[in-house]
């Protein structure tokens, strides 16, 4: 396989303020699996070291704690890019709008910057169809509940259908699992070809990729941490990343990934690590993956 040449982004401003197409910040804090005081501390430390984008979801059960941490941080709300995601039980029009209002109450804000459909309807023909919940999400934007809307975990076919309903320009991002062990190339190419920004979640594969000898060797060459290399690999392809951490030193260290420039050879070596190792695949909810 011939090495692929990847464009190197010109990053000259602080990573927390860096923005990519569709105004989705390149670097944010993920809060999946973080609860109670743990998520409060994580958000507080992240904001303190320079993060300005926070990602949560209704199903995470931590919106209230995220809202508390933001309110107590002293960072003005207008400086924070806040994302939440609508759960599949809230897809009927009135339920979706009501659920977002509830999310805003918990988050202590009058709007979020981005609202996503967390997972596509598991059975679009039987459950609430995309033709109902996507226009409802657009209505939430029209009502000022969110500044932007998008999707998450949508396949090529589902994204194509979403484009037909909303138009590609209305979809700020598709948030999908991407890491060196799951590079999702077919879906990535489709999204890029259609001008839809990609947000990569689970960038470290629950810590699995930072143990990889190839990643560790590249980290050694760059005098970086393996986590920084995995994040730099995603950033260098133009993806946004939302890693989570409960340790202040890791939160700070992860931000430095934006300054790392991987070589074509580094990128080619990481490309070979793809093994289709999917971690987010909830039974009864996950679609038929590409």
Q: Does residue 60 fall inside a structural domain?
A: yes
How far is Cα 222 from Cα 113, in angstroms, rounded to an integer? 35
- Residue among 60, 81, 181, 201 flagged as catalytic: 60
81 backbone φψ class: left, alpha, beta (φ>0; ψ -120 to 50): beta
pLDDT of amino acid 11: 30
- Residue 15's closest CA among 241, 172, 180, 185? 241
Provide the 10 A C-beta neighbour count for residue 240.
26
pLDDT of amino acid 78: 96
> pTM for this structure?
0.91
Q: Does residue 289 fall inside a structural domain?
A: no
Q: Does residue 209 fall inside a structural domain?
A: yes
Q: Does residue 163 fall inside a structural domain?
A: yes
Q: Does residue 6 fall inside a structural domain?
A: no
Domain that holds residue 140: 15-271
How far is Cα 262 from Cα 228, in angstroms, rounded to an integer? 11
pLDDT of amino acid 284: 93
Q: Does residue 194 fall inside a structural domain?
A: yes
pLDDT of amino acid 125: 67
Provide the 10 A C-beta neighbour count for residue 54.
28
pLDDT of amino acid 162: 98
**Domain count across the chain:** 1
Q: Does residue 254 fall inside a structural domain?
A: yes
pLDDT of amino acid 19: 37
Q: Does residue 286 fall inside a structural domain?
A: no
How far is Cα 192 from Cα 198, in angstroms, rounded to an integer? 8
Told to judge if 201 belongs to the known catalytic residues of this protein, a careful annotator would answer: no
What CATH number is attached to the domain comprising 253?
A: 3.20.20.100
Going residue by residue through the chain, which has 290 residues, state the pLDDT in tens, using 9 for 90 and above: 333 333 333 333 233 333 333 479 999 999 999 999 999 999 999 999 999 999 999 999 999 999 999 999 999 999 999 999 999 999 999 999 999 999 999 999 999 999 999 999 998 767 899 999 999 999 999 999 999 999 999 999 999 999 999 999 999 999 999 999 999 999 999 999 999 999 999 999 999 999 999 999 999 999 999 999 999 999 999 999 999 999 999 999 999 999 999 999 999 999 999 999 999 999 999 999 99
């Amino acid at each position: 396989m011939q090495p692929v040449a990847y464009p190197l982004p010109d990053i000259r401003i602080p990573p927390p303020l860096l923005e990519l197409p569709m105004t989705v910040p390149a670097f944010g804090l993920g809060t999946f699996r973080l609860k109670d005081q743990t998520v409060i501390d994580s958000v507080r430390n992240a904001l303190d070291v320079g993060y300005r984008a926070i990602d949560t979801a209704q199903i995470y059960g931590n919106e209230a704690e995220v809202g508390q941490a933001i309110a107590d941080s002293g960072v003005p709300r207008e400086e924070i890019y806040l994302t939440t995601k609508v759960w599949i039980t809230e897809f009927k029009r009135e339920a979706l709008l009501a659920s977002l209002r509830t999310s805003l109450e918990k988050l202590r804000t009058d709007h979020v910057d981005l609202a996503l459909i967390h997972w596509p309807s598991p059975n679009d023909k039987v459950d609430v169809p995309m033709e109902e919940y996507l226009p409802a999400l657009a209505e939430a934007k029209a009502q000022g509940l969110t500044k932007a809307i998008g999707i998450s975990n949508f396949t090529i076919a589902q994204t194509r259908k979403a484009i037909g309903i909303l138009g590609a320009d209305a979809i700020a991002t598709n948030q999908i699992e991407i890491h060196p062990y799951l590079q999702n190339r077919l879906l990535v190419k489709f999204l890029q070809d259609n001008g839809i920004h990609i947000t990569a979640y689970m960038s470290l594969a629950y810590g699995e990729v930072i143990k990889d000898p190839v990643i560790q060797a590249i980290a050694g060459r760059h005098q970086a941490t393996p986590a920084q290399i995995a994040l730099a690999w995603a950033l260098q392809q133009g993806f946004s990343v939302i890693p989570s951490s409960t340790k202040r030193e890791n939160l700070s260290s992860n931000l430095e990934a934006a300054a790392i420039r991987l070589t074509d050879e580094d990128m080619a070596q990481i490309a070979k690590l793809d093994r289709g190792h999917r971690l987010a695949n909830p039974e009864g909810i996950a679609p038929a993956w590409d």
